[in-house]
Structure 1
Amino acid sequence: MSFHVPPTLQSLAVQSLLKNEALAMSALQELPRVLFPPLFKEAFTGRHTKILKAMVASWPFPCLPVGALMKFPDMMILQAVLDGVDMQLTRNFHPRRQKLQVLDLRNVHHAFWDISAGPEDGDRSAETVCEKQIPTRLHRYALRQRLKVVTDLCLEFDLDEYQTYFLQWAQKRRGSLNLCCVKMQIKELSMYTVRKVLKIFQPDCIVELELNTGWTLPTLACFAPSLGQMKNLRKLLLTLVDEKLFSFLFMSTDKHEKRITKLISQFSKFNCLRHLNMVGVYFLKDHLNDLFRCLKTPLEFLSITLCKFSQSDLESFAQCQSLHHLKHLHLSGIILCDLSLVPLRILLEKVTDTLKTLELEHCRMTDSQLSALFPALSRCSQLIEVNFYDNDISMAVLRKLLHHTTNLRQLNVEYYPAPLECYEIGFVVRAGTFSQLSSELMDTLCTVRQPQSVSFASQTCLQCLQRCIYDMETRLCHCWQ
């Protein structure tokens, strides 16, 4: 037997207001606060733009996390919300109980919509939840500006209609509002456009920056002062995508050195940096020590990909105090075969109690180099993931590596290279040998401990660009199928 649950009085009141927009808008000044969140959500879902505009203008809570409701860009909704903000900015509009301090346009979950707005909820009231979820840094500007608008931006070569409208609106009102972009992604835009966008927003509100660009070193040096203004940056991803910049034949000159120094010196201005990811930053060679010396805070995540290291660069890893609390160390496409890995071993000894992921993929390490890391590696008790793909390791040393993971009980994702014995001349895989030796290595690992997700893989086939992979069963590249 099923029972029909009658609608609540609150639900009936909301539906009644939505049916009469004129009544709803005229009643907002007298509407109980408890009805604002459910009425706003229903108006949002039903795209009642006139009601939304009026509700934004008279919102009775410190924040309005409208982005949590906006799963997909909607021009009509955005225009209605921003029109409501404009109503607050007009001189002749002074709602009796308007309290809005922060308009949050980020598409992230917000606890405000999960709880009731009534005063009977005490510490779980909507007002309290809003205040607790507004970052402390935002309050410092509240005395200077009436309203803060918070957003995330992903800016690519062709801005869509939604982004264009918002940026044009924001640019015209940057003197009247505090405009904050917390996470900013920039892909293939000119420096002129990027600078123009950055002038709209408070630079110290940017917490995460992803800069994916083909800019040359002179252009990056010109951009450096803008980067240095992002004093509260916690996460930086810098990717240089221009194929010419991946050349390891970069010839340094005095002018280049000054530009590199200008860019690297900006790192001394970051007060909160925890996550640093650099891809294809070709001019890093012989400058890592300078960069690490500029770091003011301990890093938790460091990833360097497709770069060339000198021995002095590698030595800086052991010397840098800011790396001694790393949780994630990823070095990919860094050719290490001609370098001494003693500094890397020293670093691993420093992070035995914190390191969770270690990726040394496509580093072309040899048997002796990897063996030098075994004592430190075996003590990294917090490791949950390792990746040693594309290193030139023999069957015997791979067996030793697996035995040195005996005490790494938290490992649940493991990637190992196929042993050298699997290849013919020119690194052509011998399918039968690959399957047999990988199976033997898996048996070895199972005698050491109980693995979860483990795979052994060949180098990428130059013909089909696939790997041969063994993870309890053999999956050969397309050339063998």
Structure 2
Amino acid sequence: MDSLRFLCTHRVIAQCPLPALPPHLYPELFKAAFQDGRALALQELVAAWPFPELKLQQLVRDLKLRWDRPAIECNQAIIQGVVSQLRQQLEEPGRQSSGCQLRVLDMTGLCDYVYNRTPNGQTSWSRTKGLAEACVEVSRYQQQFQRRGSKRHKRCSGATTAEAAPQHPGVDVHADLFVDKESNQILREALQIGAAGLLRLKCREFKAVDISAHEIVPLLESLDPSCLRRVELCSLGLTGFLEILPHLTRFPELRSLKLWHIFMDGS
């Protein structure tokens, strides 16, 4: 028999929009929304998250998930909740009514590919690619907003530069990144935004599959050196590996290097 607490949390997250909630209920409601596959409720909860950190694995690791839960939509909703909050902060920099305090979204320790399983088969989605797309989206919106603000200020005052506005500190997303041919380009663009962006990728584990050393090196050069712990490289020639090796010395916290299918290529 389900507990009264269980029944109450699942009843609350069925409402749209969610009612005003005390902060201490957010973790339990998040678990209920994730377990039930309620993407809209997850997005609302993340956009108003009242704590500095949200550690996804810690919240969902003990849940009994239904096989038909829309897992892709739930993961996308978590990311979109952060994006919508950052966009709101850009548009209304002094607005604090939402109560959102989120500064770190931790998505480490999770399989990169997320699946929706249905009786007709399954579809997949890459968390690395989704996060990279979100970083680029926020950065572009940030640039557009700053350009509009600068133009408005020029029309009003004739000044050549815009007034300094309060700057939201942004959100760091800690993740294990899996890069392949499909995600390589967008991930490179996201990492090059770096500290200038409001949504910043911090990589703990970096895995590259079926891309060349020439493509891997710029990605490594764009990573925050203080965060990387493990690197895994697959399907490289020995010449390519030797090209990458010197770039790993910039990571003082690196603890593991795994090599898969490294082949002799005449070097």
Deviations 1:376-428 (A, max 9, x none): xxxxxxxxxxxxxxxxxxxxxxxxxxxxxxxxxxxxxxxxxxxxxxxxxxxxx
Matched, 1:47 2:43: no
Amino acid at match of 1:49: A
Give 1:180 deviation, angstroms: 1.2
Amino acid at match of 2:212: S
> Residue 154 of structure 1 contacts residue 184 of structure 1 at CA under 8 Å; is this kept in 2?
yes
Q: 1:49 to 1:95 in 2, by over 3 A?
A: farther
Q: What TM-score results when the alignment is normalised by the length of structure 1?
A: 0.36
Aligned match of 1:84: 81
Amino acid at match of 2:244: F
Q: What TM-score results when the alignment is normalised by the length of structure 2?
A: 0.60
- Pick aligned residue for 2:56 from 66, 79, 87: 66
Give 1:171 deviation, angstroms: 4.8
Aligned match of 2:102: 100
Compute the RMSD of aligned alpha carbons.
Answer: 3.5
Amino acid at match of 1:21: C
* Cα distance in 2 for residues equivalent to 1:88 and 1:202: 24
Q: 1:102 to 1:231 in 2, by over 3 A?
A: same
Aligned match of 1:202: 224
Give 1:11 deviation, angstroms: 3.0
Q: 1:56 to 1:82 in 2, by over 3 A?
A: same
Q: 1:211 to 1:165 in 2, by over 3 A?
A: closer
Deviations 1:65-123 (A, max 9, x none): 12453799943122211111112222126444322221111236xxxxxxxxxxxxxxx
Matched, 1:7 2:3: yes
- Pick aligned residue for 2:13 from 15, 18, 37: 18
Q: Write out aligned runs for 1:252-267 (5 A).
A: none
Matched, 1:187 2:209: yes
Amino acid at match of 2:175: T
> Residue 145 of structure 1 contacts residue 178 of structure 1 at CA under 8 Å; is this kept in 2?
no
Aligned match of 2:199: 177
Q: Write out aligned runs for 1:109-128 (5 A).
A: none
Aligned match of 1:408: none
> Residue 178 of structure 1 contacts residue 201 of structure 1 at CA under 8 Å; is this kept in 2?
no
* Cα distance in 2 for residues equivalent to 1:190 and 1:152: 20
> Residue 203 of structure 1 contacts residue 231 of structure 1 at CA under 8 Å; is this kept in 2?
yes
Deviations 1:198-249 (A, max 9, x none): 35531331101122342343x445434532222211112345622446xxxx
Deviations 1:295-326 (A, max 9, x none): xxxxxxxxxxxxxxxxxxxxxxxxxxxxxxxx
* Cα distance in 2 for residues equivalent to 1:45 and 1:231: 38
Q: Write out aligned runs for 1:420-435 (5 A).
A: none
* Cα distance in 1 for residues equivalent to 2:250 and 2:97: 36
Task: Work out the number of aligned pairs and report it.
Answer: 197
Amino-acid identity (%) = 26
Q: 1:21 to 1:85 in 2, by over 3 A?
A: same
Higher relative contact order (CA 8 A, sep 6+): 2
Q: Write out aligned runs for 1:321-400 (5 A).
A: none
Structure 1 gap segments, 5+ residues each: 109-143, 251-481
Give 1:54 deviation, angstroms: 1.3
Aligned match of 2:249: 228
Structure 2 gap segments, 5+ residues each: 111-167
> Residue 54 of structure 2 contacts residue 102 of structure 2 at CA under 8 Å; is this kept in 1?
yes
> Residue 179 of structure 2 contacts residue 207 of structure 2 at CA under 8 Å; is this kept in 1?
yes
* Cα distance in 2 for residues equivalent to 1:229 and 1:166: 23
Matched, 1:241 2:262: yes
Aligned partner of residue 203 in structure 1, secondary structure: coil
- Pick aligned residue for 2:178 from 132, 139, 154: 154
* Cα distance in 1 for residues equivalent to 2:75 and 2:231: 24
> Residue 178 of structure 1 contacts residue 202 of structure 1 at CA under 8 Å; is this kept in 2?
no
